[in-house]
Amino acid sequence: MKFTRRIILCVALIVFGTWISNAQTIPCPAGFICLSQEKANETASRLKELIEARDVIAKFTLERGLAIAERDAANALVKRINEMIALDDRMMLTYEKAMTQMQKIMDMQTALIEKLITRLDKPKSPWKQFLDALKTVAAIVVGISIGRGL
């Protein structure tokens, strides 16, 4: 019996202690969450950190977007510059080909002029001199006959 009384007494103390600890807390109204001041301060500081982190993330996102736009613009500029360099290279090749052709033409012209000069400077053969004399006599005879009306 003493054992049973002790068990009942222990159970009663536990129930009474639980009831007293629950009685000391202020019950929360429906729809509210009750926190200790310590938890409320901790939650407020974490909420403040979250807001600051969101601001930083928004700034980084904006900067990243600007950096991506700048990178794209720089890539487009590099592409255009490479196209201009390629065009300049093609123009230089075309210019060099044209200059080579012009040099060949000038060499051919020089060779032709030299051949003609050597032909003109070449002494006339006696047969050619005789033919030139005949041409001159024929021109004089034709002139005289035209002048006399024949």
Give the pLDDT confidence score for residue 54 in this predicted structure. Answer: 86
Q: Considering only CA atoms, which of 17, 35, 38, 18 is closest in space to residue 26?
A: 35
pTM of model > 0.85: no
Categorize the per-residue pLDDT at 66 as very low, low, confident or very high, splitting at 50, 70 and 90: confident
* Res. 15: pLDDT tops 70: no
* Res. 46: pLDDT tops 50: yes
| DSSP string computed for 84-144 | HHHHHHHHHHHHHHHHHHHHHHHHHHHHHHHHHHHHHHSPPPHHHHHHHHHHHHHHHHHHH
Categorize the per-residue pLDDT at 50 as very low, low, confident or very high, splitting at 50, 70 and 90: confident
Query: Which residue is it, tokens 């720089």?
Result: 74
Please report, as a single letter, which amino acid is at residue 31: G
Distance CA 21, CA 6 (A): 22
What percent of the chain has pLDDT above 90? Answer: 33
Give the pLDDT confidence score for residue 136 in this predicted structure. Answer: 93
